[in-house]
Amino acid sequence: MSTRPADEAPNLSIAVTHLLKGVVYRDTQEVAWRHLLQLQSQVRDHFTVIGLVAEIDETEGYAYLRSRLDDPAEDSPIPRLIARRQLSLHVSVLLALLRKRLAEFDAAGAETRLILTRQQIIDMLTLFLPRTSTDARLIDQIDTHITKIIDMGFLRRVNDTETSFEVRRIVKAFVDGQWLSDLDARLADYAAQFAGPVAEDTL
């Protein structure tokens, strides 16, 4: 079985292909990350041609693609390659809570990986869900939201378990500092919405 030498020449195809497949993480995709860092300018130029921006955060250790900020006139001749996502209210709240928890974790200056148990996530979100006839149904709803967040790449199961999850730092790119500074007010708004019927509300 052959292995790639540590001094292998940087390969643009490797960097580009992995980014097209999704977020590239330093800790789990070491080879792709190395090629990406060595070819940052070429990677950015490559994606600029098709209306995408390659965001590379060396401090946090992740890279991803996003669409260029839209012109208010919406008259760009380049079709949007990355579709906007409309998130349910509950998923949006969970993302906000995870981002807040990560900020608190970083402020404490402890470990580098924030690991939460399933029960911790349930406890975080329960306050923002309307009470149902059974606790079992409520837990099923939360598990559905957790699965959605995993599919989006903001949570990762630890050792493929169903009880522990790592909060991926890519969430910082989607819930920025300014948004986070207004979080308490936003959560109060969410709580008010959850006080009434919110079956299919979206943001």
Other Cβ atoms closer than 10 A to 1: 2
**pLDDT one-digit tens code per residue, 99-117:** 989 988 988 876 778 999 9
Q: What is the mean pLDDT of the chain?
A: 79
76, pLDDT greater than 70 = no
Contact between residue 61 and residue 27 where contact means Cβ atoms under 8 Å apart = yes
**pTM score, two decimals?**
0.71
84, pLDDT greater than 50 = yes
User: Where is pLDDT greater, at 132 or 72?
Assistant: 132
**pLDDT one-digit tens code per residue, 120-157:** 999 888 877 766 556 788 888 889 999 999 988 899 99
What is the rounded average pLDDT of the residues 12-24? 92
pLDDT at 132: 58
What is the rounded average pLDDT of the residues 192-198? 56
User: What type of residue is 124?
Assistant: M
| Alpha helix (H) residue ranges in the chain | 12-21, 30-38, 40-48, 89-108, 118-126, 135-152, 171-174, 177-181, 183-194
Token match 């949006």: residue? 92
In the chain, which residues fall in CATH 1.10.10?
1-83, 89-194
What is the widest separation between alpha-carbon atoms in the chain? 60
Residue 143 phi/psi, 5-degree rounding, is -60, -35
User: Where is pLDDT greater, at 86 or 25?
Assistant: 25
For domain 1-83, say whether CATH 2.170.270 is its number: no
User: Where is pLDDT greater, at 178 or 40?
Assistant: 40
Contact between residue 21 and residue 13 where contact means Cβ atoms under 8 Å apart = no
Whole-angstrom distance, CA of residue 57 vs CA of residue 170 = 9
CATH topology of domain 89-194: Arc Repressor Mutant, subunit A (1.10.10)
Whole-angstrom distance, CA of residue 92 vs CA of residue 87 = 6
Residue 166 phi/psi, 5-degree rounding, is -95, 130
pLDDT at 15: 94
User: What type of residue is 178?
Assistant: Q
Q: Report which secondary-structure segment, H or E, holds 99.
A: helix 89-108
**pLDDT one-digit tens code per residue, 35-67:** 999 999 999 999 988 888 999 999 999 999 988
pLDDT at 2: 45
